[in-house]
Each structure stands twice: as structure tokens, then as C-alpha cells.
Amino acid sequence: MELGTERRHAPATLRNREPILAVLQRVLPDGGLLLEIASGSGEHAAFMTPRLAAEIEWQPTEASRVALAGIDAHAADSACPRIRPAIVLDTRAADWPIHHADAVLCCNMIHIAPWTAAEGLFAGAGRILPASAPLILYGPFRRQGNHTAPSNAAFDTELRARDPSWGVRCLDTEVMALAEAAGFQLVEIVAMPANNLTVVFRR
């Protein structure tokens, strides 16, 4: 099999996809383009798009081209024509390949990437989203500088051992500073399984 064509499976998607979908169904606009940053295996797009409003298109992306074929394979399995072919998007780029979206979703990226990727995420979303459009993040976060569970603290230690530029970010200080600099306001924080959060910002 050609490298990158196999369908990857992320076990956590089975646990978190329905809670994330419930938030999306409440906060997304009735139609338009949802840009997913760091689509990973592509399973979120394949599961959620058929369950969202019929006027919503989903654009999966990944920073590495090698992941695209696997994402597209999951999309093909879903038989949903509203999932666009996956494209390369590195949040740190000054010019994204998508110049307008009606919502941005980013799951499990900012803790498994250098901080410059989070900076690029907010800056880029600020460039392409219109007023009142949502930017939705999912993953583990610290609150007021503290981990929300011992398991998150252990995960943070593991991440930083793998790469010192990685780590669970503080929502109230680090992430909020980026959001405010890019013109976003915090709208909602939703508790998720396994001590994760879904965080909704709007322009």
C-alpha cells in the first residue's frame, strides 16, 4: 500500500466525537464552510459532516501531505459529498490556502505542536473568519495555571519529555492572550470526556 493511503484510526474519536458534535450542532451557522485544522485521521469529518446541517461543507486539513490520502479514504467511506478533499495547511504560514471560512475547528493540536502553531491558528482564523463566526478548540487545558486532573498533569509531563516545545496550555492566560490579540472573545467552555474541554470563541 502506498505510504499515506491507509486509513488511520484514532481511538479517542470514538469517545469524543458525539460530545464535540453536540457542541457543533449548537454553535455552527446554518450553512457555509467549516475549516478543520489538524484533521488527524479524518474520522471527525467522516462522522460529523453527515450529521450537521445540509448546507455545511467540511474542509479537512493537515500540516503534512502524507496524511491527506488517509483522511480522504475516511471521507469516501462516509459517502458524504460535503467533505472536501483534504489539503495541506500549516497554521504558521502567513497565507493560508483557504481565504474565507464560516467556522474553524481545531481538535487536539495546540498541545502537540510548538506554540508558534497556536499563534498561527489564532492569527489565521482572525484573517479568514467574518464577524461573529466561531473558532472552536477541543483538547486538554490548564485552568488558572493548574491541571484539571492528575491524568492531564501526567500527559503534560509526557508531552514535554517528547518535545520541550509541546505541552498542555493554560486557557486563562496563554490561550486567552492569543484570542484577544486576534480579536476573539470567549463565548463558552464545555466539559468533555477524559478531562478535556471544548472552547468556543467568536470574532
Q: What is the pLDDT of residue 79?
A: 96
* pLDDT tens readout for residues 171-195: 999 999 999 999 999 999 999 999 9
- Least confident among 5-14, 90-99, 128-137, 145-154: 5-14
Q: What is the pLDDT of residue 14?
A: 76
Residue 4 confidence (pLDDT) above 60 = no
As a dihedral over the C-alpha atoms of residue 124, residue 130, residue 131, residue 133, rounded to 10 degrees, the angle is -80
* pLDDT tens readout for residues 116-126: 999 999 999 99
Q: Are 15 and 44 in contact (CB under 8 A)?
A: no
Question: What domains can be seen in the chain, in order of their start residue?
Answer: 12-202 (3.40.50.150)
Residue 2 confidence (pLDDT) above 60 = no
pTM for the whole thing? Answer: 0.95
CA distances to 33, 38, 95, 137 from 100, in Å:
8, 17, 12, 18
What three-state secondary structure class fits 25? Answer: helix
pLDDT band at 5 (very low <50, low <70, confident <90, very high): low
- Return d(Cα 176, Cα 186) in angstroms, integer: 8
What three-state secondary structure class fits 36? Answer: strand
* pLDDT tens readout for residues 17-41: 999 999 999 999 999 999 999 999 9
Q: Which helix (H) or strand (E) holds 43?
A: helix 43-48
Q: What is the pLDDT of residue 8?
A: 78
Q: What is the pLDDT of residue 175?
A: 98
Q: Are 121 and 93 in contact (CB under 8 A)?
A: no
- Return d(Cα 25, Cα 52) in angstroms, integer: 6
- Return d(Cα 123, Cα 18) in angstroms, integer: 28
Q: Are 71 and 80 in contact (CB under 8 A)?
A: no
* pLDDT tens readout for residues 29-75: 999 999 999 999 999 999 999 999 999 999 999 999 999 999 999 99
C-alpha cell at 43: 474520522
